[in-house]
Amino acid sequence: MSLATTFKLAFASLAIATVFGATPCSTFAAPSNQAESTSNAKVAQEFQVGSLYVEKYSNPNAKGAPVILIPGLASGAYVWDETVKQLRDNHELYVVTLAGFNGKPSIAGPKLPKLKASLLELIQTQKIDKPVLVGHSLGSASSIWFALEHSNLIRGVFAVDGLPVFPGTQNLGADQRKAMAEGARAQMASLDAASFGAQQTQYMRVTGVIDEKLALSLGVRAATSDPIATADYMAELLLLDMRPDLHKITVPVAVVSPFNAPDFARANMNEEGKNAYYKSLVNGIPQLSMISITNARHFVMLDQPQVFNQKLQEFLKKL
């Protein structure tokens, strides 16, 4: 099997699962207590900036760089609970949830431009001294997009399984990309609450995390997001291809590539092959480092929290 065919099989399947979701389950149920936060850290302040709902963790003795943590599609600040526990003693933290996700009200109009503008407003109004952006999935791609224009305002980007172009779409023409985005938007926006919840849970079981119980918990939480807002964010993400402008980023960027061998067995792809593919999509970034974490799916910080947080802290210490 050729390398090109391997990439096509592996990433086409992941892209389809992410955009359209896996086949909805016929039933959907999970204990209500699975949706409760596991974080014991206390929030110093909560406020809204544009389309961002912010949880601020302050420590007057913190000596590390401030950090802004941005979750992915249909997720909330809770995905960073373990990371918050690891960082809050040494870093001022701003953990955000995007409008329309995790039960937060949605906003009208384009979502990603508003997200980028809200990040800028957050940094400026809170007078955050060159934070590090840590983003997952949609949050990762948005962090890279922000760095294209505002590298002077940040110290670096820790990009967790989110890229400047959606994997599997890198060779699409403009018309094809637009058709795919609109198809994804229409299909997801048409789901009723039960179908959307079932889709999110099945996605978590197939692509999100390895542990079944954790997948069910994440599915419950993702189901509280607005299907229409989720569809809008997804469609706008599919339209992005930032590769021509990556040379404009002047801060260090680390790209985290999770790898779970059974998921790639059918395509005969190994860890090195997947990491190389991801690198090919971010090669224009001048100060780039690649981090591969095994035995992890898309929510790598939940599948492998110890390894993930170690890699993140190593990145922060180098800045």
What's the rounded Cα separation, in Å, for the pair 159 and 134? 6
Angle 191-183-23 from CA coordinates, rounded to 5°: 50
What's the rounded Cα separation, in Å, for the pair 202 and 298? 14
Tens-digit pLDDT profile for residues 138-188: 999 999 999 999 999 999 999 999 999 999 999 999 999 999 999 999 999
pLDDT for residue 272: 97
| End-to-end alpha carbon distance in the chain | 41
Question: For 123, what's the count of Cα atoms within 13 Å in the CB-facing half-sphere?
Answer: 22
In this prediction, residues 92-99 reach a mean pLDDT of 98
CB atoms within 10 A of CB 206: 18
Q: Provide φ and ψ at 35, rounded to 5°.
A: -90, 0
Q: Over 70: is that where the pLDDT of 111 sits?
A: yes
Q: Over 70: is that where the pLDDT of 211 sits?
A: yes
Q: Over 50: is that where the pLDDT of 14 sits?
A: no
What are the tokens at 3?
């390398």
Q: Over 50: is that where the pLDDT of 54 sits?
A: yes
Alpha helices in 126-242 (DSSP H): 138-150, 174-189, 193-203, 212-222, 227-239
CB atoms within 10 A of CB 29: 10
pLDDT for residue 267: 86
Is the Cβ–Cβ distance between 142 and 135 less than 8 Å? yes
Contacts of 102 (CB under 8 A, 6+ apart): 74, 75, 76, 77, 78, 221, 224, 225
pLDDT for residue 26: 28
Per-residue pLDDT band at 60 (split at 50, 70, 90): confident
Q: Over 80: is that where the pLDDT of 81 sits?
A: yes
Per-residue pLDDT band at 2 (split at 50, 70, 90): very low
Tens-digit pLDDT profile for residues 232-271: 999 999 999 999 999 999 999 999 999 999 999 988 999 9
Q: Which residue has the higher pLDDT, 28 or 127?
A: 127
Lowest mean pLDDT across 1-15, 152-166, 201-215, 252-266: 1-15
What's the rounded Cα separation, in Å, for the pair 85 and 77? 13
pLDDT for residue 24: 31
DSSP type of residue 250: -
What's the rounded Cα separation, in Å, for the pair 157 and 132? 6
Q: What is the 3-state secondary structure (H, E, C) of 63-90?
A: CCCCEEEECCCCCCHHHHHHHHHHHCCC
Is the Cβ–Cβ distance between 100 and 225 less than 8 Å? yes
Q: Over 60: is that where the pLDDT of 39 sits?
A: no
H/E segment holding residue 7: helix 3-20
pLDDT for residue 43: 66
pLDDT for residue 59: 86
Homologous superfamily in CATH for domain 3-27+42-318: Alpha/Beta hydrolase fold, catalytic domain (3.40.50.1820)
